[in-house]
Structure 1
Amino acid sequence: MNHRILVVDDDKEIANLISIYLKNEGYETELAHDGTEALSKLQGGSLHLAVLDVMMPRMDGLEVCRRIRETAELPILMLSAKAEDMDKVMGLMTGADDYLVKPFHPLELTARVKSLLRRAYRFGQAPAQEEVPGLLRMNGLTINRTTHTVEAEGRPIRLTSTEFGILYLLASQPGRVFSAEDIFRQVWKEKYFDSNNTVMVHISKLRDKLEQETGSKLITTVWGVGYKIDF
C-alpha cells in the first residue's frame, strides 16, 4: 500500500526537505504551506497521515488539528520549535497522535511516521481469547480491530488511531493493569522515558470520549501503577 502523506509547513524549504525524506522511504507526499491550504487538500480523503507544523500564518497547526479531528481520524504528527511540556500537551490534547520538536533528525521523523502508520493501519495481533478474530465486546462496546472502529450500543465512537490502540490493548486483557511504560512500548513501539506524559494525555482524551457515549467510567486509574479496564 502506497501511503500518501500531507506535509504542512509555511517554511517551503523545510516542507520540501521533509517531502524528500519521506519520498526516500517510498511514501507519496502532498505539500501545503498554511492551514487553509492544508484543510483544502485533506477534503479529498485520500491522505493517510499529516505532518503538521504548529506555527503557521492564516491558521495555526493547533486549529488545523482541531478541524481535522471534527471529520477524520488520520494520524497527525505535530512539529514545533517549542520543546516545553505544556506545548506538547496542548498539541496532544488538540488531537495530535505524536509530537516532534524541531530541529529533528531525518531518521527520527521517518521512524515516527512509520510507527504512526503501523498503528493506524496494521495494529497488533488478535488476542487469543477473542471469540471472533479482531472483535472484542465488553461493557456495551464493540471494538473491531479489522475495521478499526468502536461502537457503543451501535453508536460509533470516533477515536484516533492511537486512542484505538490504547483501548484495544486494555480491552484485550480486562483486569490487567498496564503501566504507562507498558502502554507506550506496546502501542507506540518506541523506548519510553520517565518524563513522557504522552500516555496520560491520550488516556484522558480516550476516557472522556468513552464516558460521553457510555455514561460509565470504563478506564480505571490504579494510582502509582497504571490503567485497566474491567468487564
Structure 2
Amino acid sequence: MIESCYKILSFIEYIRSIFNIKEIVKSLKRNLYILIFVFSIFLVSFLISTLLIYDVRYFSFLGNEIFNAFKKELSSKVSFSYNYSFLYKLKLYELILSNNLKVCILNYILGVFSLIILLINTFIISYVLIKFGLKKFIVLILPHGIFEIPALLLSISSGIILYIGLVKYILKKEDYKVYILDSLRILLLSITLFIIAGFVESFITFTLAKSFLG
C-alpha cells in the first residue's frame, strides 16, 4: 500500500516537473519557428479573407451563411434570454468551452491538416469585421479573442510538433521524445487559454455586446 502511494506521488511529481511553467516556456522557444509559421498563415489568410469578403459578393454570401448557421446552432442548444442571467451565462460557457476543447483536441490530432480549421476560423473573423465594422468587431471579438486566437494557434502548432515527433520516432531519431513532450506542453497551454477565453466570451463579451449593440 505504502509502495503504491509512493509510486503515485512520484508519478505526480514527474508530471509536475514536465508541465511546469519553465518547461512550457522552453518548449515555446524551441518551436518558435513553427509558432511563427502558423501565425503567418493566420495573418495572411485574415488579410486575404477580408479583401475577398469586401470585394467579392460570393464570399460575402458564404460568410453570411456560415454566420447564420452558427447562430442557429447556438440558439438550438441555448435558449436566448435577454436578461443574461447567471445560469444562462453558465450554460453558454459550458457550450462554448465544450466546442473550444473539441476544436483544440481535433487540431492536435490532425496536425498540419488543422490549418484548414485555421482558414475557416480566420474567414469567420474577417466576416465579422466586414459585417459589423471595426467598433463592433472590437466588442464582439477582442475581449475573448486575445485569449482564443492564441489558443487556436497554439493548438494547431502543438499538432504539427506532435507529427514531427512521430516522424522522428518512425525514423528512429533519439530526440523524438522532446518533440512529443513539447507538443503536450503547448497543448496544455492552449487548453488553459481556451478555458479563459470561454469564460470571458460567456460572462464579459456577451454582456458588452448587449450593452453596446442593444
TM-score w.r.t. the length of structure 1 is 0.29
Q: Whose helix fraction is larger, Structure 1's or Structure 2's?
A: 2
Higher relative contact order (CA 8 A, sep 6+): 2
Say which one has the larger Rg. 2
